[in-house]
Amino acid sequence: MSAPGGILRVLHTRVVTGVGGGPEKTILNSPRFLRGTAYEEYACYYRPPGDPGFAIIQQRAAEAECPLTGIDDSAPWDPSPLRATARLCRSLGIRMWHGHDYKSNLFGLLLQPFFRFHLVTTVHGWVKHTSRTPLYYAIDRRSLRHYHLVIAVSSDLVDACRDAGVPASRLLLIENGIDTDAFAPSARRDEGPRARRVIGCVGRLSPEKGFDIAIAALAHLVRAGHDVELRIAGEGSEAERLKAVAASQGIADRVKLLGYCADVRGLLDDVDVFCLSSLREGLPNVVLEAMAMRRPIVATSAGGMGAFGRDGKDMLLVAPGSADALADALARVLADPSLADALAGAARARAESDLSFRRRMRLMKEAYDRLVAPGPDHALSR
């Protein structure tokens, strides 16, 4: 089956469990921004059989008008997902493969000799550590060397890809983007400050997110006399441990673990400060969302945040791993409304001018165009 009218069909591929994470905000929203161009995008997700979280991803895909196929993936080395993917590529007439993690990048390499499609991948970061991830990340880094186009979402990942052997001519920095129309501040800020201030965090409940450090920082603030609470949205294996940390600090009533949050915009609309406490990061989408929502941000300089954040201009940056430093920065924002307003205003302005999702997709289209253009003189040609 071939695409009509010279349309080039692109397949985004990714392994996902539960409700997914930040990359879904990029993948699922991409197809509608390329509508009317030469590119028609689809998504294929490898998910554990019977995973109830996938229904939520399907709903988000439908809302974003992203055609999504789920393929059962029951074991790391099960060949059936690869065979199912080959059938999907054949039925859709896929001409460009766009991977988003180690397994989808490996599958792209294995299928490319049969389909001769262009190989593209987006590197979102190697941040989650388990017993298997050293092997998975090693496979990913070796796979990247063979891709025709490697897109990194932050400058530190550009360096990591270069160190992994990706040629500079095939490597691009295209940061994550945010739909500034969908994420925009409401009039609630005009109501004035509340007695109890709210700090918000969003992310997978896993060790690299440093939520235990955010809880310790909250304890410092409470002991210093701040009437403040912490709301953490996200699912993961750390939930019970984080509850125990809050209890041990004597602030269990001030730490709210909200679980999966379908309405991140609503959550951000109701916080006074957004906090990123990560120990390892690429460029998290939720930071862009907080910027677009005109919230003051306190973040660690982990990973790509060190180069991305403009300390003292559109956010405050602190070294990762220090509850004292995080608490001090949060206290500055909470105690100084003019500083909070200046940071928030600069963040929103930067989101509008430099970080819009429409701009990101324009850069993606230009990269696709250069990749598929004929002749040896194009920097991203094969």
Give a yes or no: residue 377 inside a domain. no
Give a yes or no: residue 320 inside a domain. yes
For 116, which DSSP code?
Answer: -
3-state secondary structure of 16: coil
Structure confidence by residue, pLDDT tens digits, 148-192: 999 999 998 999 999 999 999 999 999 999 999 999 998 655 555
Least confident of 23-32, 57-66, 335-344, 366-375: 366-375
Residue 63, CA distances (Å) to 16, 68, 150, 178 in order: 19, 11, 28, 16
Residues 364 and 346 occupy one common structural domain: no
Domain of 70? Answer: 4-177+356-372
User: How confident is the model at residue 165, as a pLDDT?
Assistant: 94
User: How confident is the model at residue 128, as a pLDDT?
Assistant: 59
Residues 18 and 80 occupy one common structural domain: yes
User: How confident is the model at residue 187, as a pLDDT?
Assistant: 66
Structure confidence by residue, pLDDT tens digits, 281-323: 888 999 999 999 999 999 999 988 999 999 999 999 999 999 9
pLDDT band for 5, please (50, 70, 90 cuts): low
Residues 149 and 242 occupy one common structural domain: no
Structure confidence by residue, pLDDT tens digits, 339-358: 999 999 999 999 999 999 99
Residues 113 and 193 occupy one common structural domain: no
Structure confidence by residue, pLDDT tens digits, 34-49: 999 999 999 999 999 9
Closest Cα to residue 23, out of 81, 66, 78? Answer: 66
Residues 171 and 25 occupy one common structural domain: yes
Residues 256 and 324 occupy one common structural domain: yes
Count CA atoms within 13 Å of residue 114 on its CB side.
Answer: 14
Q: Higher model confidence: residue 182 or residue 251?
A: 251
Query: What is the H or E stretch that residue 71 is in?
Result: strand 68-72
Return the number of other C-beta atoms located less than 10 Å from residue 154's C-beta. 24
Does residue 382 surpass a pLDDT of 50? no
**Neighbour-count burial of 305, counting CB atoms closer than 10 A to its CB (0-12 exposed, 13-18 middle, 19+ buried):** buried
Closest Cα to residue 43, out of 79, 78, 71? Answer: 71
Question: Within the chain, what is the greatest distance between any pair of CA atoms?
Answer: 67
3-state secondary structure of 284: coil
Work out the angle between the directed axes of helices 102-115 and 80-92 (0-180°, nearest 10): 50
pLDDT band for 377, please (50, 70, 90 cuts): very low
User: How confident is the model at residue 131, as a pLDDT?
Assistant: 63
Residues 209 and 140 occupy one common structural domain: no
Amino acid in position 18: G
Residues 200 and 277 occupy one common structural domain: yes
Structure tokens at 159: 């360096």
Residues 23 and 160 occupy one common structural domain: yes
Structure confidence by residue, pLDDT tens digits, 192-223: 567 899 999 999 999 999 999 999 999 999 99
Alpha helices in the chain (DSSP H): 22-27, 30-33, 53-63, 80-92, 102-115, 133-144, 155-163, 211-223, 239-248, 264-269, 285-292, 305-308, 323-335, 337-354, 357-372
Phi, psi of 246 (to 5 degrees): -60, -40
Residues 218 and 172 occupy one common structural domain: no
Give a yes or no: residue 378 inside a domain. no
Give a yes or no: residue 14 inside a domain. yes
Closest Cα to residue 236, out of 108, 53, 111? Answer: 53
Structure confidence by residue, pLDDT tens digits, 56-85: 999 999 999 999 999 999 987 889 999 999
User: How confident is the model at residue 127, as a pLDDT?
Assistant: 60
Structure confidence by residue, pLDDT tens digits, 84-142: 999 999 999 999 999 999 999 999 999 999 999 999 999 998 765 666 777 877 888 89
Residues 173 and 234 occupy one common structural domain: no
pTM: 0.85
CATH of the domain at 44: 3.40.50.2000
Return the number of other C-beta atoms located less than 10 Å from residue 196's C-beta. 11
Name the domain count of the chain: 2
Residues 196 and 334 occupy one common structural domain: yes
Query: What is the H or E stretch that residue 51 is in?
Result: none
User: How confident is the model at residue 130, as a pLDDT?
Assistant: 63
**Residue listed under structure tokens 């060397």:** 145
Give a yes or no: residue 379 inside a domain. no
Does residue 256 surpass a pLDDT of 60? yes
